[in-house]
Structure 1
Amino acid sequence: MESTFLSITFLVVIYLLIKVISLEGRIKGMKYTLNQLANQSEISEGPIDDELHKLLREGKDVKAVKRVREAKGLSLVEGKKYIDELKLTGR
């Protein structure tokens, strides 16, 4: 009985892990598509990026990371990566 429960639990965990990995891949694909569309249409970055560029010019990198995390709901690593990419594109 106990081994059956463990087997079912293991299979459910594996299934959920596969689904999460699949969804992550789809999200990355959607982000890529959105970035391509934004680049082609020359859409402005938006008010949040303007604010972030201002913070970066003032040398307030930590505040910029905090602000982008609040505005976009990003993790710390994602926020830092976003700010690093903004620094590379510059203005």
Structure 2
Amino acid sequence: QRQAARLDHSVLYVRVPRLFEDLALARLDGRFPRLIDKLTRAQLLILDDFGTHSLTDQQRFHLFEIVEERYRRKSTLITAQLQGDAGLP
């Protein structure tokens, strides 16, 4: 993260639980398109604490849209706090 910032790349760090809170509020107050744009514009998006909470269908959809929009264009780093069989498929 620091090296990317030193190289003048835009870096955005977001905790996944907070991301979904922000997305829900943004849908209510009309900021949703701007928030999605901010998440997809950063050169490096760091999504921290993935897997600490179960996701709703809508949250999974939003996460897919963000990752899909960034795919092959921008870097995305996802960190997880998973134990045992709770890992990703």
Q: Same fold (TM over 0.5)?
A: no
The structure whose residues are more often strand, as a share, is 2
Instruction: Specify which structure has the bigger relative contact order, considering alpha-carbon pairs within 8 angstroms and separated by 6 or more residues.
Output: 2
The structure whose residues are more often helix, as a share, is 1
Q: TM-score range by the shorter chain?
A: under 0.3
TM-score w.r.t. structure 1 length? Answer: 0.26
Name the larger-Rg structure: 1
